[in-house]
Amino acid sequence: MSEVKNILFIMADQLRADYLSCYGHPHLKTPNIDALAARGVRFTRAYVQAPVCGPSRMSFYTGRYVSSHGSTYNGVPLRIGEMTIGDHLRPLGMRVALVGKTHMTEDRKGMQRLGVTRDTIEGVFAAECGFEPYERDDGLWPDEVNPRDLAYNRYLREQGYNVDNPWHEFANAGRGADGKILSGWLMRNARLPAAVKEEHSETAYMTDRAMDFIAEAGDTPWCLHLSYIKPHWPYIAPAPYHDMYGPGDVLPANRTEAERENAHPVVAAFMEHEESQNFARDNVREAVIPAYMGLIRQLDDHLGRLFAFLDERGLTENTMIVFTSDHGDYLGDHWLGEKELFHEESVRIPLIVCDPDSRADGTRGSVNGRLVEAIDLAPTFIEAMGGEVPEHILEGRSLLGLTRGERREWRNAAVSECDYAFRRARQELDRTPGNARAWMLRTERWKYVEYDGFRPQLFDLENDPREHNDLGDDPDYQPIREEMHERLFDWMRSRRMRVTISDEEVEQRTDTHKKRGFLFGVW
Amino acid sequence: MSEVKNILFIMADQLRADYLSCYGHPHLKTPNIDALAARGVRFTRAYVQAPVCGPSRMSFYTGRYVSSHGSTYNGVPLRIGEMTIGDHLRPLGMRVALVGKTHMTEDRKGMQRLGVTRDTIEGVFAAECGFEPYERDDGLWPDEVNPRDLAYNRYLREQGYNVDNPWHEFANAGRGADGKILSGWLMRNARLPAAVKEEHSETAYMTDRAMDFIAEAGDTPWCLHLSYIKPHWPYIAPAPYHDMYGPGDVLPANRTEAERENAHPVVAAFMEHEESQNFARDNVREAVIPAYMGLIRQLDDHLGRLFAFLDERGLTENTMIVFTSDHGDYLGDHWLGEKELFHEESVRIPLIVCDPDSRADGTRGSVNGRLVEAIDLAPTFIEAMGGEVPEHILEGRSLLGLTRGERREWRNAAVSECDYAFRRARQELDRTPGNARAWMLRTERWKYVEYDGFRPQLFDLENDPREHNDLGDDPDYQPIREEMHERLFDWMRSRRMRVTISDEEVEQRTDTHKKRGFLFGVW
């Protein structure tokens, strides 16, 4: 195989690491993703920098921790001036495009202050997180957000779904016996087939659009972020995927009574959220999880179609393909629904990197247990394209040392952050918008979580991989907690904030004041 | 007195707190600054956020700690998008202008990336730290930086100083017996009168320019940052200020032999710098300090002229006047020259706030010992103009509660930061550009300094106000150091990074997903 010319950066939304057959799911079959893993490296300890869409993605795209880029939750604009993959890769001669979701909220006030508008190409990049928005679609379009002009809605209307909001009425709804619209927003409808035909569903459409882009891009090197909206809720799949799996395929929830009884205060408050209360019920899990699995299986089938398309065009051999997700989904584990907190079901993601370079031949099909992070992709892409990684900005590390079997120093902890200011739990716990935060430090053995205003949590992942026993207030583990606390402080003081000057420039300027005519301190 | 209409924000450069008569200097007379203090509040424990021009000023202007704004040293561009006083005050209807120095380095790459240029007013503000550059002059113009078109140089040429760089040859040089140019860059020439006439010197000129601005501004509310270049080096004063003070007015250096013998490694490396080595010599102090004092006395005289100008125009009663400095000057104390480290001589500044509002009448002439910080001015100005302080961005606290004698909660520690990556000390100590940092936490009693890679320092300011005894490795003080270390961590995790959304907006959006149509977790 040859050097990397293109990058296909595929992201699923809310896909747990363990819901792929190559990651060990006993019932779900994902042969195309498995085949990708067989050609690449499969990372088993990959962590997001925040287990929520928006901040996690901003970390993927900026290569920076959430504390550094500041977009701590969905809807928090990414501050103007934060550089993203696009800003780093475009100068290397690539077209950097998006098909699907980013969850980017533009910093409108910042743009106004600087006189930056969408009338300029720079303004579009600033507003779209550095991507050329070939097809931007964040995938959640209730009538309240007025999605009439959404490209996907126009497409659906062209296919004959003649309503104002076909996403809402067809892609995201089934039908009752009487033809009544039964919304995918309600989990009770998860087992219904979506009213949209499979070939018109979002996953199919976005795959088509990715192929459109690739065909159109021709010989120009490209980085395409193909960012699927599924298997994120609403949990409803088109036929035949809606009943490909059934309650018998649902694994027992990973939870113990003790976890609920002795829950950490913040976790306990999350257990009170509606999604957690509902996922605590077996009938909810039995309705939702098969649909979730169906959506994953559908995604895998379309990836098969896409990979065949690359093969036909001879692109497989020069395209780096990455498959990952922005966070997991509790699905009732630990008495929780959704994500946001730091159990493995939420914070750990699938990550497969297929590096076409021949130097990676020795690692194909291998499994790598290093602690890797979402922020590692940005530097990986830059290095793959022959660029210099600006380490005064990027906080991740290129994975190419791992895909190419080189000896490079590696980190000994992964960090993830949570800002639950926007959630009811924050109000229940009487926290202010500014102090509802938590930080996870995950080492080879330990997972330590520190909270604003509450005791920490500690799990021994070696002896308790399912995270049932919180050692956060066990006196025997005080020394471990202290060590983790210090390591977290070390991490925090190492954030890259001096982003406007490189270390090389600092080195070149050190002690040069006299050369520049500034003779201070001279007698 | 009436409400605040204008703000005159005066900054001296490198002026130590204790080099004013109102701050207790026994020989130096500063009657006009003293008179301002008699009309306002004089703060005795005011600290800069970095004892170096650039980062200190960026903290004054942004209202944010150095770790937050990221411009950690002179010449490190302030990242595009950081908001400054100008951005906050202009929407309140003020003209926000600069006369003098900011030490701003524009983020050229960031501007290019966003398509922002100096052809637009937004671009000028972005490049000039949010100020209208009525007269921008950073005041150090060796031939190497080619200052031919500098407005002050043009002015000097108009006055008959007909050379290419009159700043260099006249404002910053004396003459030898043979007429030879003797540069102010060399401290051996500090006792000479500058070759420029006093009325043409920088301090006089900048005062004139401030009056030009005020006359021109008319009835529009304004905030003028009058930012003097002196008494910063080069240490050379025009007649008659050059010999108004003599060696007999020089106070003994604040230093002990033990300090030099047992110096902390970083402090020891700074002691090796040329400026420290020179200031360790009495003949250097005796040459330089009288010139330094003369420059301060000159500044005071011109402030008298400016204050009279305000009086004549009836502006005293509606103008808030602040007098401060960007950091101090070791002048040989603790065997050090210049600034950068955290002894009081370097990190403490004079700060006088004269609030014309009648609610401040009860505090006029008072002395306030609260721990205040440079970042407190931005919120002070916003509150004075009736604005809402955006606490998700600004990290300082308005001083109006103190000037108006209101009960408000106050901080119990001041923090300052040091990035010595650009200094030779960093190379001598074998540190990388990214880990040559230090943080000071100063509480009522303690001054604690933490370093990357070295033991901390600790001073008991109650019992050792002159900072002779570093308790940083004394086992008896381990509990104090641990407490300070934890407080520093608390401070660090409280940096405002979620700058694009206010706490009120967070509160309004909390738990509103259903109203917005996003029905997750619903059965």
Question: Is B437 at the interface with chain A, CB within 8 A?
Answer: yes
Neighbours of B85 (CB within 10 A): 25
User: Per the structure block, which two tokens stand in for B397?
Assistant: 């606290």
pLDDT by position in tens, chain B (length 523): 458 999 999 999 999 999 999 999 999 999 999 999 999 999 999 999 999 999 999 999 999 999 999 999 999 999 999 999 999 999 999 999 999 999 999 999 999 999 999 999 999 999 999 999 999 999 999 998 877 899 999 999 999 999 999 999 999 999 999 999 999 999 999 999 999 999 999 999 999 999 999 999 999 999 999 999 999 999 999 999 999 999 999 999 999 999 999 999 999 999 999 999 999 999 999 999 999 999 999 999 999 999 999 999 999 999 999 999 999 999 999 999 999 999 999 999 999 999 999 999 999 999 999 999 999 999 999 999 999 999 999 999 999 999 999 999 999 999 999 999 999 999 999 999 999 999 999 999 999 999 999 999 999 999 999 999 999 999 999 999 999 999 999 999 999 999 999 999 999 999 999 999 999 999 9
Examine residue B515 and state whether it is found in any structural domain, yes or no. Answer: no
Nearest CB among A109, A122, A492 relative to B113 is that of A122
Q: What is the pLDDT of residue A356?
A: 97
What's the whole-number mean pLDDT along residues A214-227? 97
The interface residues of chain A toward chain B in range 214-253, judged by CB-CB distance below 8 A, are 233-234
Say whether residue A482 is in contact with chain B using an 8 A CB cutoff.
no
Partner-chain residue, chosen from B275, B276, B433, that has the shortest CB–CB distance to A506: B433
Amino acid letter, B5: K
| Chain centre distance of CA A361 | 27
State the pTM of this model. 0.97
Give the residue numbers spanning the domain of B184: 6-393+417-506
- Structure ipTM: 0.95
Cβ distance of A500 and B76 shorter than 8 Å? yes
Q: Match 């927003």 to its residue by tokens.
A: A185
For residues A426 and B497, what is the distance between their CA atoms, to the nearest angstrom?
A: 19
CB contact under 8 A, B434 and A509: no
Q: Among candidates B133, B105, B124, B93, which has minimal Cα distance to B7?
A: B93
For A:90-149, CB contacts with B below 8 A are 107, 109-110, 113-116, 120-123, 125-126, 140, 142-145
Read off the DSSP letter of residue B347: H
CB contact under 8 A, A113 and B83: yes
Nearest alpha-carbon partner for B232 in B153, B281, B295, B277: B295
Model confidence at A1, pLDDT cuts 50, 70, 90, reads very low
Across the interface, do B422 and A518 touch by the CB < 8 Å criterion? no
pLDDT given at position B2: 55
One-letter amino acid for residue B367 of the chain: V
Report which of B392, B68, B494 is spatially closest to residue A437, judged by C-alpha positions: B494
Q: What is the pLDDT of residues A64-73, one digit of tens each?
A: 999 999 999 9
Q: Is B274 on the interface with A (CB under 8 A)?
A: yes
CA proximity to A428, closest of A269, A268, A260, A263: A269
Our CA-based measurement puts residue B270 at a distance from the nearest CA of chain A, in whole angstroms, of 12
**CB-count burial class (<10 Å; 0-12, 13-18, 19+) for A317:** middle
Look up residue B318 and give its amino acid.
Answer: N
CB contacts under 8 A, B 306-345 vs A, are: 337-338
Question: Is B98 within the bounds of a domain?
Answer: yes
* Facing A498 at nearest CB: one of B70, B110, B510: B70
- DSSP assignment letter at A515: T
A339 pLDDT exceeds 50?
Answer: yes
Residue A404 lies in a domain: no
Mean per-residue pLDDT of chain A: 97
Partner-chain contact B81 A77, CB within 8 Å: no
DSSP helix, strand, coil percent of chain B (3-state; round to 5) = 40, 15, 45
Confirm or reject contact between A367 and chain B (CB < 8 A). Answer: no
Closest residue in A to B118 (Cα) is: A114
| Residue B139: predicted pLDDT | 94
A17, A22, A102, A33: which is closest to A299 by C-alpha? A33
Instruction: Say yes or no for a CB contact (<8 Å) between A503 and B422.
Output: no
Q: What is the pLDDT of residues A79-120, one digit of tens each?
A: 999 999 999 999 999 999 999 999 999 999 999 999 999 999
Q: Is residue B434 part of a domain?
A: yes
Give A312-348 as a DSSP string.
Answer: HTT-GGGEEEEEEES----TTGGG--S--S-SHHHHE
d(CA A97, CA A102): 11
Alpha-carbon distance of B264 to B462, in angstroms, equals: 21
State residue A385's pLDDT score: 97
Nearest to B517 among A145, A284, A501 (CB): A145
Alpha carbons within 13 angstroms on the beta-carbon side of residue B455 total 14
Task: Report yes or no on A522 lying in a domain.
Answer: no
- Both tokens of B277, joined, read 């080595």
Residue pair A214/A222 in contact by the 8 Å Cβ criterion: yes
Which residue carries 């600004």 as its tokens?
B394
pLDDT, residue A2, reads: 55
What is the model's pLDDT at position A3?
86
In this structure, is residue A380 part of a structural domain? yes
Strands B237-238, B193-194: pairing kind: parallel
CATH number at residue B448: 3.40.720.10
Question: Distance from B288 to chain A by nearest Cα, in Å?
Answer: 10
Q: Which residues of chain B have a CB within 8 Å of the CB of A168?
A: none
pLDDT tens for residues A289-334? 999 999 999 999 999 999 999 999 999 999 999 999 999 999 999 9
Is residue A520 included in any domain, yes or no?
Answer: no
Main-chain dihedrals φ then ψ at residue B27, nearest 5 degrees: -115, -35
**pLDDT reported for residue A147:** 79
Residue of A nearest to B493 (CA): A492
Closest-CA distance, B329 to chain A, in angstroms, reads 12
Residue A92 CA to residue A276 CA, distance in Å, equals 46
Q: How far apart are CA A59 and CA A393, in angstroms?
A: 12
Domain count, chain B: 1
Q: State the best of A450, A487, A506 to mutate against chain B, taking most chain B CBs within 10 Å.
A: A506
CA–CA–CA angle A434, A436, A437 (5° rounding): 105
- Within 10 A of B504 (CB to CB), how many other CB atoms are there? 13
CA dihedral A127, A129, A132, A138 (to 10 degrees): -90
A421 interaction partners in chain B (CB closer than 8 Å)? 506, 510
- The verdict on residue B409 lying in a domain is no
How many other CB atoms are found less than 10 A from the CB of residue A263? Answer: 19
Report the gap between the CA of A97 and the closest CA in chain B (Å): 17
HEC sequence for A73-135: CCCCCCCCCCCCHHHHHHHHCCEEEEEECCCCCCCHHHHHHHCCCCCCHHHHHHHCCCCEEEE
Q: Flag whether residue A71 sits within 8 Å of chain B, measured between CB atoms.
A: yes
CB contact under 8 A, A143 and B114: no
What pLDDT is stored for residue A146 in this prediction?
A: 75
Residue A148 confidence (pLDDT): 82
